Amino acid sequence: MFGSQAEVARAFQLDRAVVHNWVKTGYVPARWAGEVERVTQGRIGAVEVINEASAKNPVRVKSRPDHALFGMQESDPMTQYAPAKRIHSFHPPQRTLMGPGPTEIHPRVLITMRQAAIGYLDPVFVEMMEELKSLLRYVYQTRNPLTFPLSGPGSVGMEYCFVNLVAPGDKVIVCVNGVFGGRMLENVERMGGIPVVVSDEWGRPVDPQKVEDAFRKHKDAKLLAFVHAETSTGCQSDAKLLTQIAHKHGALVIVDAVTSLGGSPVKVDEWEIDAIYSASQKCLSCTPGLSPVSFSERVVEYVKKRKDKIHSWFMDMNLLLGYWNAGTRTYHHTAPTNSLFALHEALLLIREEGLENSWARHQRHHVALKAGLEAIGLQFLVEEKYQLPQMNAVLCPKGVDEAEVRKRLLDEFGLEIGAGLGPLKGKVWRFGLMGYSCRPDNVMLCLSALSSVLSDMGLPVHVGDAEAAAHGAYAQMHAKDAQRKKRAA
Ligand SMILES: Cc1ncc(COP(=O)(O)O)c(C=O)c1O
């Protein structure tokens, strides 16, 4: 396929012995596959190379004979710990992920992730960490030096903010307008803080007037915490305005940007946000398990001045600085290296696309999806001006078995959408359009699959109407773009 071993070695600037070894063992490292993609300028994808190599020469692992593995030999002391069934390697099915996250992962990110492991203090890895931090500053739109990914999902980012910023007895104004505001409240309580709850109806944004009133009533409040993009409802709150209110009253803010980061504007410096966290598996379209965070200098100083010890060893900001700070780099915990490779690539994809183009893409496909859903009579939970492009919650039509609809979408079309949570359980469906999942083919598949299932289940839905409405919306947006380009020329 690529010529002689010598030619390959020359093309990829590799030692011939290395190429010989790969050919002999049939093992194709991801790096080589990546090189093939680069050298052929994308004509041959790295995924194709790896797939072809694995098909020709699957990696063989020496295993015990079946009778020893599956309970035939009672005397084998190991068998009592394994179920008496044949267990195969796990190969997940191909799904279209349009729920509240995780999202589909770009092939480039998957390829990056499967590369050979290296140590987390390896100089090459350390160099990558610095790039990762600068890419994160880009997506967060901040110059904060303390911007890095925590090892753990979004919930770890949330807990990290509260454990470092809330000392026992601190008063915290917490806004609750959905599931995740409720989790913030849990965190304040568990840290021994005194919560002041500002509640809003699920599906409504946080009311800035209520926040202002709470600060007037509780002059000793030190913090304001709110969710920028409430995933449970698809509603967006005004992070800039809420931060201004907190600062006017001398408080710091903690912002949940788990669903917003990468999908809609999050401007940490311009909005003067103090502490913010997100997650890797939503609009960043990476593997779950990492939580990018960013803290202003004000927060670092605030935490340093705390008189008590932070109530978590793993999450103590002062200790973790030793690993993520450029100068020091000492062992804190074993970093999830391959997941961090993946995040580096996922962020690089956003950098290449352009952050504002990524926001615009989420908006564009949201408009098309919305046109389609509304064309078959579905209603959005949230008022238009507060709707999140990346999370679309619609009310389930009366009398329909909502769980059955989701099941049929998954079984018949391999399409995953989200269910309602808490008081919205059984009442809404949530359609995610996040990151790599936010594509026109997904919009079209979703509309046609949903229309077919609803029509099959006896609802008055005409198959084809939703897709036609989405096509119409795309056509209108293209026409507007074309006019804009013409005017600019
Ligand atoms: C707004 C919000 N905050 C926090 C979380 C928790 O993130 P994770 O599930 O990654 O722990 C989620 C997860 O969906 C979320 O949507």
Mutation to probe ligand 1, out of 103, 150, 155 (largest number of atoms < 8 A from CB): 155
The per-residue pLDDT for 69 is 58
Do 139 and 261 lie in a common domain? yes
Smallest Cα–Cα separation from 285: which of 337, 235, 334, 342? 342
* Domain-terminating residue out of 318, 351, 384: 351
Model confidence pLDDT, tens digit, residues 393-451: 999 999 999 999 999 999 999 999 999 999 999 999 999 999 999 999 999 999 999 99
Give, for ligand 1, the residue of 151, 232, 259, 282 to mutate: max count of ligand atoms closer than 8 Å to Cβ: 259
Q: Which amino acid residue places its CA nearest to atom 5 of ligand 1?
A: 154
What does the alpha-carbon distance between residue 5 and residue 11 come to, in Å, rounded to a whole number?
10
Same domain, 142 and 25: no
Atom of ligand 1 nearest to the CA of 232: 16
Q: What is the pLDDT of residues 44-96, one digit of tens each?
A: 877 777 777 766 665 555 666 666 655 555 566 666 776 666 778 899 999 99
In a domain, 263, yes or no: yes
Residue 340 in any domain: the answer is: yes
pLDDT given at position 59: 53
209 and 325 share a domain?
A: yes
Domain that holds residue 35: 1-42
User: Could you tell me if 307 and 167 lie in one domain?
Assistant: yes
Last residue of one domain, picked from the residues 351, 386, 410: 351
Structural domain contains residue 72: no
Q: Tell me the pLDDT tens digit for each residue of 220-250.
A: 999 999 999 999 999 999 999 999 999 999 9
CATH value at residue 177? 3.40.640.10
* End-to-end Cα spacing for the chain: 46
Ligand 1 pocket, mutate which of 184, 228, 231 (most atoms under 8 A from CB): 231
Residue 346 inside a domain? The answer is yes
Q: Give the Å distance between the CA of 206 and the centre of ligand 1.
A: 18
Q: Is 447 among the domain residues?
A: no
Same domain for 17 and 133?
no
Judge whether 373 lies within some domain.
Answer: no
Backbone φ and ψ of 395, nearest 5°:
-75, 135
Mean pLDDT throughout 109-115? Answer: 95
Residue 307 C-alpha to ligand 1 middle, in angstroms?
A: 30
Q: What is the whole-number distance in angstroms between the Cα of residue 164 and the centre of ligand 1? A: 19
In degrees and rounded to multiples of 5, residue 295 shows phi and psi of -130, 135
Same domain? For 22 and 147 the reply is no
Q: What pLDDT score was predicted for residue 64?
A: 63
Q: What's the pTM value of the predicted model, to 2 decimals?
A: 0.86
271 in any annotated domain: yes
Domains in the chain, number: 2
pLDDT digits (tens, 9 = 90+) for 275-332: 999 999 999 999 999 999 999 999 999 999 999 999 999 999 988 877 777 676 788 8
Instruction: Out of 202, 258, 291, 424, give the residue to mutate to test ligand 1, the one with the largest number of ligand atoms within 8 Å of its CB.
Output: 258
Q: 262: CA distance to ligand 1 center in Å?
A: 15
Atom of ligand 1 nearest to the CA of 156: 11
CA of 280 relative to ligand 1 center, distance in Å:
10
The reported pLDDT for the residue numbered 26 is 63
Ligand 1 midpoint to CA 256 (Å): 9
Q: What is the mean pLDDT of the chain?
A: 92
| Residue that the structure tokens 């349009």 belong to | 98
How many Å apart are CA 445 and CA 395, to the nearest integer?
20
Rounded-to-integer distance, Cα 135 and Cα 400, Å:
45
pLDDT digits (tens, 9 = 90+) for 168-225: 999 999 999 999 999 999 999 999 999 999 999 999 999 999 999 999 999 999 999 9
Which residue's alpha carbon is nearest to atom 8 within ligand 1? 154
Three-state DSSP at 276 gives strand
Distance from residue 150's CA to the centre of ligand 1 (Å): 14
Ligand 1 atom closest to the Cα of residue 279 is 10
Phi, psi of 28, rounded to the nearest 5 degrees: -110, 105
Answer yes or no: are the C-beta atoms of 199 and 232 closer than 8 Å. no
- The pLDDT, as a whole number, for residue 4 is 81
- 358 C-alpha vs ligand 1 centroid, how far in Å? 21
Q: How far away, in angstroms, is 213 Cα from ligand 1 center?
A: 28
Q: At 359, is the pLDDT very low, low, confident or very high (cuts 50, 70, 90)?
A: very high
* Same domain as 119, residue 257: yes
| Residue 380, CA distances (Å) to 201, 232, 392, 422, 458 in order | 15, 13, 7, 18, 21
| Residue 187 CA to ligand 1 centre (angstroms) | 14
Domain limit, last residue, from 310, 335, 351: 351
Q: Percentage of residues in the chain with pLDDT exceeding 70? A: 91
Nearest by Cα to 136 from 253, 271, 279, 334: 279
Q: Which two tokens stand for residue 354?
A: 């352009």
| Among 29-43, 65-79, 308-322, 346-360, the range of highest mean pLDDT | 346-360
* pLDDT value at 6 more than 90: no
- The pocket around ligand 1, CB under 6 angstroms, is made up of 100-101, 153-155, 158, 180, 227, 231, 256, 258-259, 279
Residues 176 and 298 in one domain: yes
> Within this chain, do residues 27 and 154 fall inside the same structural domain, yes or no?
no
Which atom of ligand 1 has the smallest separation from the CA of 289? 10
Which residue's alpha carbon is nearest to atom 9 within ligand 1?
A: 154
The per-residue pLDDT for 331 is 84
**Cα(483) to centroid(ligand 1), Å:** 40
Q: Looking at the domain assignment, is residue 93 inside a domain?
A: no
Both 185 and 261 in a single domain?
Answer: yes
Q: Which atom of ligand 1 is nearest to the CA of 231?
A: 16
Residues 17 and 165 occupy one common structural domain? no
Q: Are residues 187 and 264 in the same domain?
A: yes
